[in-house]
Amino acid sequence: MMRVQAPYTNLFRMQTFSMQSLRAGLVLVACLAVLICASVQPAGAAPNRVVADLSDDLVEINSSYHGTELLLFGAYRGMPGDDLILEVRGPSTDLLQRRKEQKAGIWINVETFRWLGVPSFYHVFSTRPLAEIAPLQTLTESGVGAASLGLRLAKSKGGGGSHHNGGDDSPVSRASASTDEQNAGLVRNMTGLGLWATRTGSVKTQQDMLYRTALSLPSNVPPGSYVVRVLHFRDGVAISESKTDMKIRKAGLSALIYRFAHDYSLFYGLFAIAFAVASGWLAAVAFRRN
Amino acid sequence: MYIYLPIAEVSMHIGVIIGLGGGVGFLSGLFGVGGGFLMTPLLIFFGIPPAVAVSTEANQIVASSVSGVLAHMRRGNVDFKMGGILMAGGVVGSSLGVVLFKFLQSIGQIDLVIQMSYVVFLGIIGALMLTESLRTIIRSRKSGGVRRKLHQHNWFHGLPLKMRFRRSKLYISAIPPLVIGALVGVLAAIMGVGGGFIMVPAMIYLLGMPTAVVVGTSLFQIIFVTANVTLLQSIQTQTVDFMLAGLLLLGAVIGAQFGSRFGARLRGEQLRGLLALVVLAVCVKIMFDLALRPEDLLSVELLR
């Protein structure tokens, strides 16, 4: 309950009255009143505002980590028929895409394409299918879907560049004919890995004021800085937007091993060997006595 | 209970890891082989990235070879001089193998080369072992026993740098063991195996070593080859998953004990025949993987 109050307080500060001196209990009541007032006002008459929060803005990958689920929630000042799109984006990375072909009876990689600055994690949630919420161009301008991902192929590896001129329900837009297959493959592969997803109809709203959705992080989630973005759409137009940050990092023993392996790789290797020799010796001694 | 593997960056059920270690450990105890040729493909099958599987398996084989070699040392079945020469070749070969591994990885062909090596070497070794053990079984049924020459003389017995290997009762050039050590070292680094399944037949049939010292000497040199791979992969690619290796080891140690006790009840040629079938099964499985149309022709690899 404490956490849920945060967005309300934020929302409240937006108003011109100075309410900071009021007690916490009054804040909530007053806030709800403002929300109700706002919802009956005509669109555009007051500054629109959507706020976002997470049940946890720091996810630690420790030894017992096997994926986790976060609650993504917040408040908005909506009207019936409004839509919300939520977007969770992980750190960008370069990515190699390989294509197999049958050569002499076996399937081997024959082509490699290098994609630049691809989000290693990209989950989109919405109240309805994206195409029903707004025209493709509006979505692109708002940075939802294809263009916002800024997907492009490195030129050197062949296959040509890719042009993105719109967005659809998949995170990648339709591109030029030569890269349709590559785009579809990228979405398919990343979705298969659980790193990309589009979940339409997954955002639940309450009385055009509150929204929530569940973000599930897979066990192979890439660590790094994440950005959560919420967009509020009315009649196919984005009327307000909000962002919040999230961090995913390795912690505990798994962080220790990872850092040891990368920062002191020589000692890590020696340690791994020493451990193996010691346990091999121990095993031989232990079972000899039996 | 799932455990997050910090280097592989995936989580795996702890029971699966220990079970894998135990199962492969049982077979390795049963047949007196390292089991790397089974473990590495299995790890890849369970979603461990191939590079991590190969490096981590090298680390685990260090432990199983140490525990194996100690038993052979007690019986005096290790030819340290021969082992030392094989090792010298092996360290050079495996160093080359690690470099080759990284190169193949960069051009996207490492999976293919790993799979092809498995098909070729497991196919050859499996077929040889199967025919040999069948022949022995048939012959031993026909006549009372089998008599073989101590060792045959090949062309390379005329090479220079002759050395005396007392434990092996050999007086041969040091060049063949050096070359064999190096070649097996390259394969060990690429395939994520100790290489015993190639080394042992090579020692018997090419070098003419007596079978009693072959396994112990092979294990002795495998320790150093796999330790070298562990160290180089740690430095070069940071793909040795200490957590995974430790858990596999736990299962393997226990499994190997049961395996060797069970194996004591079977006869040598029966054991070799069974091992040949296991080897051929792995070979055929990988061959199918290569020949069948993959579900998706496109694949991605995230660069970190």
For chain A, say whether B234 makes contact (Cβ under 8 Å): yes
Tokens representing B57 are: 């398996």
Q: In this predicted model, what pLDDT tens digit does every residue of B31-40 receive, in sequence order? A: 777 788 889 9
- Tell me which of B148 and B286 has the higher pLDDT: B286
Max Cα–Cα distance, chain B, nearest Å = 63
For chain A, say whether B63 makes contact (Cβ under 8 Å): yes
Chain pair A-B, CB pairs under 8 angstroms:
187
Asked if B240's CB is within 8 angstroms of A272's CB, the reply is yes
- Strand residue runs (E) in A65-182: 68-76, 83-89, 92-103, 106-119, 122-126, 152-153
- Set of chain A residues whose Cβ sits within 8 Å of the Cβ of B3: 63-64
The mean of the pLDDT values for chain B is: 86
Asked if A112's CB is within 8 angstroms of B9's CB, the reply is no
Q: Where do the domains of chain A lie? A: 49-250, 255-289
CA-based nearest distance A110→chain B, Å: 9
- Set of chain B residues whose Cβ sits within 8 Å of the Cβ of A98: 108, 298-301
Max Cα–Cα distance, chain A, nearest Å = 85
- Give ∠ CA A133-A139-A143 in degrees, rounded to 5: 140
Asked if A258's CB is within 8 angstroms of B6's CB, the reply is yes
A229 in Cβ contact with A87 (< 8 Å): yes
Asked if A107's CB is within 8 angstroms of B290's CB, the reply is yes
Asked if B298's CB is within 8 angstroms of A97's CB, the reply is yes
Asked if B60's CB is within 8 angstroms of A185's CB, the reply is no
Nearest partner of A78 among A243, A208, A223, A212, judged by Cα: A208
Q: Which of A257, A269, A283 shows the shortest C-beta gap to B67? A: A283
- Set of chain B residues whose Cβ sits within 8 Å of the Cβ of A262: 238
Asked if B291's CB is within 8 angstroms of A107's CB, the reply is yes
- Set of chain A residues whose Cβ sits within 8 Å of the Cβ of B109: 108-109
Q: Which of A220, A266, A277 shows the shortest C-beta gap to B10? A: A220
Query: What pLDDT tens digit does each residue of chain A (290 aa) get?
Result: 334 334 433 333 333 334 344 344 444 444 454 444 444 444 444 456 888 899 988 999 988 899 999 999 999 998 888 999 999 999 999 888 899 999 888 898 888 888 888 899 999 999 998 888 888 888 888 888 655 566 677 654 333 333 333 333 444 433 333 467 888 888 889 999 999 998 888 999 999 899 999 999 998 899 999 999 999 999 988 899 999 999 999 999 989 999 999 999 999 999 999 999 999 898 888 877 55
Tokens representing A156 are: 């050197």
Tell me the C-alpha distance between A160 and B276, whole Å.
49
ipTM field: 0.87
Q: Is the pLDDT of residue B146 over 60?
A: no
Asked if B1's CB is within 8 angstroms of A64's CB, the reply is yes
